[in-house]
Structures are given as structure tokens and as C-alpha cells.
Amino acid sequence: VVRVARADIPTIDAASAPYWEAARQGQLLIAECAACGRVHHYPRPFCPFCWSEDVRPVQASGTGTLYTYSTVYVNDLAPFKERVPYVAAIVELAEGPRLMTTIEGADPDGLRVGMPVTAVFRPVDDADPDSPYLTVFTPSEESP
């Protein structure tokens, strides 16, 4: 059986495996450098600030602010074309790192840069029990 790679399925390697497993458990991990103390995200086996390889995953709060966003109305790539419109976004986590994500469960017209958001987790493919889970965000309950 030949499986065709899907654009929405992440490649999971040794450096990122703990992060994907944590997402499946409803937790957002970021990396902390033991050498310089800074945190970063996306998962990688070295610190992008000081190049130390002494990094470890730490649990993030799962809260942040909407840094920027764009509502996508056209995307011809399967399976994204079935999801339009959707909101592509960058969220600044309370811990500092910014990550690319989507905003779900909200009217795009109600979104505002700087509004508080909270991480939620969902499978990439509901039909696949082994599907990786994605970290997406939704406006926090305290959002106006």
C-alpha cells in the first residue's frame, strides 16, 4: 500500500515527537534552553538563541494573544480547500514565543489583534485514530 503524503499531516521526528504526544494529551510544550534560559517554539534539538543543544520540553500555559491573522477564502490544496474560509494566525504565547496556527470556533469579524486566546487541541484527521493532534487557538472566555 502506497500512502500519499498529505500537506496537513506533520512530519514527526525525534526532536518533535514529545510535542506531538503532548498535544494528543491536551498540553502545549515549548522548549527551554538550560544554557541561556530562553524559551522557543518550534521543536528543534538546539537553542536558536545561543546554539546550545541542552534544551528540554516544558509545559506552556496554553494562553497568549492574537499577534496577527488573515482569513483565508481560497486554498486549492486538498484538504484545505474543504475548510475555507479559515483563519491563519500567529499567536504570541504568554511565555514569549510566537507560533503559526489557526483560530477556530470564532467569527473572523469578531477577532482583534491583541485579544486573548487559549490553546485547544484537535486531530488533523477525525477519521484516523492515529492522527497527530494540532494545537489551534480560540478566543479566551474573557475576550470581549
Residue 1 lies in a domain: no
Residue 109 lies in a domain: yes
Query: Domain range spanning residue 42?
Result: 17-139
Instruction: Give the chain's mean pLDDT.
Output: 91
pLDDT tens digits, 74-111: 998 877 888 899 999 999 999 999 999 999 999 999 99
Residue 3 lies in a domain: no
Find the mean pLDDT for residues 107-127. Answer: 94
Residue 11 lies in a domain: no
Residue 65 lies in a domain: yes
Dist. CA 126–CA 115, nearest whole Å: 29
Helical H segments across 8-133, by residue range:
17-24
Please give the tally of structural domains in the chain. 1
Rounded to 5°, angle at Cα 81 from 80 and 83 = 65
